[in-house]
Structure 1
Amino acid sequence: MSKLRWKPGNMLYPLPAVMVSCGDQPDNYNIFTAAWTGTLCSDPPMTYVSIRPERHSYALISRTKEFVINLTTRRLAKAADFCGVRSGRELHKFDALGLTAVPGFTVGAPLVGESPLSLECRVRQVIPLGSHDMFMADILCVAADDRYLDDAGRFHLEEADLLAYSHGTYYALGQQLGHFGYSVRKTGTKKG
């Protein structure tokens, strides 16, 4: 097996393709799609989204210091792509796509009602990086769609048909291969 040497680039895939909603009034609500996002810390719960300064939402989030990361699904794939290629300067994306702007529990930015899980975030720090600035944020609230809860109160996000992004292409997540710790779990042991 041989490897080719390529110039440095963003080849860490797959990534979540999320719809980030922002704004503080219905007339300035916006959605943009981002893959430059992820987990920063568990305690306190923190995340980030990296945004180009010329994006319409950059100014909104800079002013309000709030945004919502909405997970996407197979059913939201076309909307996710649309929100990534069309500007909120040109049209109101919630209206154009028929998406539901749901009031946040803790932030002024709206949730995307059709998303199975939304993370309400408040910006803690902005770090200029080059082509993008990273908005580091505290996760203030997680809003979960109750249709994925079972009778015992367990949330089944795996049933949401989540979307991933890999090198310019959207994919639905597929078959479960294992769970955390399955490689070291002892099997076949009987209690004596």
Structure 2
Amino acid sequence: MNKLNFKGSVMLNPTPVVLVTSKNKDDKVNVFTVGWVSTVCTKEPIIAMGIRPERLSYDYIKESGECVINLPSREMVKIVDYCGVRSGKKEDKIKHFGLQLNKGESISTPSLQKSPIALECKLKSITPLGTHDLFLFEVINVKVDEDLIDSNGKICFNKANLICYSHGEYYGLNAKPLGTFGYSVKKKKKIHKK
């Protein structure tokens, strides 16, 4: 099939979509939506996030040096959208939705109780890039709803009903995997006949 060419653009889709909670020195908590977030290192566990300097949470995170990355479920899609288009400078989005907050375990910033998974993060660096600045965070604690953990202690992300963002639209993730890591090179077990 023929391909059409477009000018250079950030067309890496779909992407995770998250709700980030942060707080300022007066303990005012804000939540906003981020669609530009990615894992960049496993040891230490580092997450990269692009944030525009005009966002209220930019200042909160820079000031406090921490935040919580809350992974939203399908039932939270309206909250995700709203928190991406409304500014915390003009309204309290947590109050607007009546969101319950859970106290931080390893940091002072709270997480969203409604979120099935929350990553408590410490800020490592900020690099100016252009329209957005690159924030690098170290994940220092992860909170997971206990009903997502199976009897072997495995986190069953497929039960969390997580969502993603693709070019202006939100999608639910299918709970059935297409494969597992390494399945393409896994050796088949030989069956010995007696």
- Class of the TM-score when normalised by the shorter of the 2 chains: over 0.9
- CA–CA distance in structure 1, aligned partners of residues 24 and 103 of structure 2: 10
TM-score normalized with structure 2 length: 0.94
Partner of 1:10: 10
Match of 1:166 in 2: 166
Structure-2 residue corresponding to 1:186? 187
> What is the 5 A alignment of 1:66-105?
66-105=66-105
TM-score by length of 1: 0.95
SS of 1:22's equivalent?
Answer: strand
Quickly say closer, same or farther: Cα 1:107–1:24, change in 2 above 3 A: farther
Cα deviations across residues 65-93 of structure 1 (Å, max 9, x unaligned)? 10111111101111111110111112211
Q: How many angstroms apart in 2 are the aligned matches of 1:3 and 1:152?
A: 46
Structure 2: distance between partners of 1:189 and 1:170: 44
Distance (Å, rounded) in 2 between the aligned partners of 1:26 and 1:93: 17
**Identity across the alignment (%):** 40
What code does the residue aligned with 1:124 have?
Answer: K
Return the alpha-carbon distance in structure 2 between the equivalents of residues 100 and 180 of structure 1.
36
Deviations 1:116-135 (A, max 9, x none): 11111111110000000111
The count of residues paired between Structure 1 and Structure 2 equals 192
Q: CA deviation at 1:188?
A: 4.6
Asked if the contact 1:24/1:109 (under 8 Å) is kept, the reply is no
Equivalent residue, structure 2, for 1:58:
58
Q: Which runs of 5+ in 2 are unaligned?
A: none
Aligned CA-pair RMSD: 1.6
Amino acid at match of 1:176: P
